[in-house]
Structure 1
Amino acid sequence: MTIATPYYLIDEKKLLRNLQIIQQVRQLSGAKSVLALKCFSTWSVFDLMKQYMDGTTSSSLYEARLGHEKFGKETHAYCVGYSQEDILAVTEFADKIIFNSVSQLDRYYDVVKSAKLGLRVNPGISHSHFDLADPARKHSRLGVVDKQVLAQQLHRLSGLMFHYNCENDDVDTFSKQLDFIGEYYGDMLKQLQWVSLGGGLYFTKEGYPIETFSKKLADFAKEFDVQVYLEPGESAITGCAELVTSVVDLVHNEMDIAIVDASVEGHMLDLLIYSLSAKIDESDTGKYQYMVAGRSCLAGDVFGTYHFQDKLQIGSEIRFADAAGYTMVKKNWFNGLKMPAIAVRRLDDTVEVIRRFSYADFLNSLS
């Protein structure tokens, strides 16, 4: 099938590899995994994902509703700041409602007290390569810091959420962190039913010691008699999608520059936010070097500089790898550029175009 570029292509076979690891962790450790919709909300592959995961977790009412309607199973509702309208809506379907602060819990307790409630805790430790994504950064608003204040709320709660990692692929660091959580908050956990360790744990990385990781989780759950939850986002979908583009122009300004029919700011915004280059599967030993740039008016709309085996031509296809996490959920209409279609290569290798976007979508996204 020929699909007009640009488009995101999700490969279910590559997705399945991650899901099977998630299932293995569940079998070995007893820890449940709920998909972090803030990272990936493309529900056209939820039928596959829900066979291996226990539900979804959210950052807003709309995400929580999407998880409930399209994924099913457990629906965890978390938000940094709920409005009263949000709370009234989310109580209709959420299995767990997690507050970011004691003040929000106080404000809405009478409305939600019949539900299973949780509080996010800021343990003051974290693992992040970026200050922007560090939940324990100075003056962080994410979670309850004061242990005494937290202890006074335990009678209202069934669990706690700790989310303090970003792309942590080191099992030793994870183990030390978990030891700290157990030592500092273990007395509280023994009074509760569940604990979420959040996301940002890259346990589906090639070569990651799954058995060591799982044993640590199992021992923690047993020691404190709690159901452990993980909230994989990137770990669930890493390496399973591409942004497929075509070269629309070739220019030269001290180096060769290929302009493609997509945009970093519009279609892979996380790369711009964190000053990262897009990944491509081409060998970096090719003799033809090009800067590959997007076609928005932003001067810094650059995917990266790469070496290709062959000279690029107008119409040459360039595929940017690892384009699932924080891409489709952040894509936008900057410059009114054509929105990439969404396609899925199913397990039987058939390719299904799930959604094409048009001028009408652009028009209706505005006023």
Structure 2
Amino acid sequence: MMQKSELKTPYFMIDETKLIHNLEIARKLKELSGVKLVLALKCFSTWGVFDIIKPYLDGTTSSGPFEVQLGHETFGGETHAYSVGYSEEDVKAVADLCNKMIFNSQHQLATYRHLVEGKASLGLRLNPGVSYAGQDLANPARQYSRLGVQASQIDAAVFDTIDGVMFHMNCENKDVDAFIRLLDNISANFGAYLNQLEWVSLGGGVFFTWPGYDIEKLGAALKQFSEKHGVQLYLEPGEAIITQTTDLVVTVVDIVENEMKTAIVDSATEAHRLDTLIYNEPASIAEADEQGSYEYVIGSCSCLAGDQFCTARFRQPLKHGQRLHILDSAGYTMVKLNWFNGLRMPSVYCRRSNGEIQQLNEFDYSDFKRSLSQWSVC
């Protein structure tokens, strides 16, 4: 059996037991509410563990054509297709693969519906004008938002020609009461339209697996909404399914000092944990201890001056060759890996419930080279 000490860093380690813990909560929500859950592939697309997830969820949802194809091929169930902007080629490519196709605008719906009718259920994204998001960058209802049709621009006649709608207005919403207020707002302002439809997706960003989240209250609210408007409800969880399941394991390769000590590790936020950099949210280190006497910047090995994971305290001084576990490194991480600086790409492993470590992927120089050019013109 493969041992952790044998694995070359950097690598991601997905824990099946922790993943199942989240999935059991998802199962309970489905039972309480009647909602269907489709995995948001924009957050997590590591299909090597879909065998664990598939028994609990109803399918996948996408934000681009390749995600549609991946969901169709590797997950099955319902395959929802959405894009902020389809090309005609995109629509033709996925129309035969998806069960539902959701357009971002009334213009795109009118332009391409003839390519989808008779193949998939038609939907339209609406922007409710309200949202729950911690950062403006991730706020679907931000000023000048391009995401979905604004209420003032809706052509009521369109609801006679579609089967469902999608709202996406949450990002890491851990407050069930805040979500219910959004739900009530949608019901009050869009209810007459929803009553004509077969299904409604409420998007993702509802963090129902967060510790202490009132799953019963959420389930009751979803059930009441569904029954009031006579629709099948969907949620599109991503982070809620894979939160706290995966570590990015790195090695300290150097320690330098410039007023503060910096432990340089063999990974980089720019290349391997991009959301840490984009949203300026420090990572958490399993080995850290807030009461520790030894403080370090955990810095990356990229050339970007501000590329660091976090500042952390430790009980003992860090050493060259020591391994650190960067926690909660699944969501919006593996889907955003890149080859900046030509750094070694992390391998991907899964620790199965029986203790076995399964390799899902590994990369080498040939992958780096092929990502940049395939053919020589010289």
- TM-score > 0.5 by shorter chain: yes
| Alpha-carbon offset, residue 89 of structure 1 | 1.0
Aligned residues: 367
CA–CA distance in 1 between the matches of 2:156 and 2:200?
Answer: 15
1:60 maps to 64
Q: Is the 8 A contact 1:165 1:200 kept in 2?
A: yes
- Return the letter of the residue paired with 1:300: G
Instruction: Identify the residue that residue 351 of structure 2 maps to in structure 1.
Output: 345
Query: How far off is 1:355 after superposition?
Result: 1.2
Query: 1:245 matched to which residue of 2?
Result: 250
Q: Indicate which of 328, 333, 344 corresponds to 2:334.
A: 328
Check whether the contact 2:91–2:112 (CA below 8 A) recurs between aligned residues.
yes
1:149 Cα deviation after fit: 2.4
Task: Give the TM-score of the pair, scaled to structure 2.
Answer: 0.96
Query: Which of 6, 11, 14 in structure 2 is aligned with 1:7?
Result: 11
Identity of aligned residues (%): 52
CA positional deviation for 1:146:
3.3
Question: How far apart are the structure 1 equivalents of 2:75 and 2:290?
Answer: 39
- 1:103 and 1:146 mapped to 2: Cα distance? 15
Q: CA offsets, 1:274-293, max 9 Å, x none?
A: 01111122221111111010
Q: Give the secondary structure class of the aligned counterpart of 2:360.
A: strand
> Is the 1:113–1:156 contact (alpha carbons within 8 Å) kept by the matching residues of 2?
no
Task: Report how far residue 347 of structure 1 moved.
Answer: 1.6
Match of 1:207 among 202, 207, 212: 212
Q: Measure, in 1, the Cα distance between the counterparts of 2:318 and 2:151.
A: 57
2:176 aligned residue: 171
Cα displacement string for residues 206-233 of structure 1 (whole angstroms, at most 9, x for unaligned residues):
1100100100000110111100000000
Quick one: distance in 1 between partners of 2:115 and 2:225?
A: 33
Q: Which amino acid aligns with 2:18?
A: K
Q: Is the 8 A contact 1:144 1:150 kept in 2?
A: no
TM-score (norm 1): 0.99
2-side partners of 1:206 and 1:317: how far apart?
28
Amino acid at match of 2:237: P
Q: How does 1:41-120 map to 2 (within 5 A)?
A: 41-114=45-118, 115-120=120-125
- Unaligned stretches of 5+ residues in structure 1: none
1:31 aligns with 35
- Measure, in 2, the Cα distance between the counterparts of 1:227 and 1:303: 42
Verify the 8 A CA contact 2:128 2:151 in the aligned structure 1.
no
Q: Corresponding residue for 2:376?
A: none
Deviations 1:51-78 (A, max 9, x none): 1000000000000110010000000000
8 A Cα contact 1:340 1:356, kept in partner = yes
In 1, Cα distance between equivalents of 2:315 and 2:122: 56
1:299 pairs with 2:290: no
Q: Which whole-Å CA distance do the structure 2 matches of 1:148 and 1:254 have between them?
A: 56
Unpaired segments of 5 or more residues in structure 2? 374-378
Does residue 128 (structure 1) correspond to residue 136 (structure 2)? The answer is no
Three-state SS of the structure 1 residue aligned to 2:333 is coil
Q: Aligned partner of 2:327: which letter?
A: A
Q: What value does the CA root-mean-square deviation take over the aligned residues?
A: 0.8
Question: 8 Å contact 1:134–1:166 — kept in the other structure?
Answer: yes
Query: Which secondary structure state, in structure 1, belongs to the residue aligned with residue 154 of structure 2?
Result: helix
How far apart, CA to CA, are the structure 2 residues paired with 1:362 and 1:150? Answer: 48
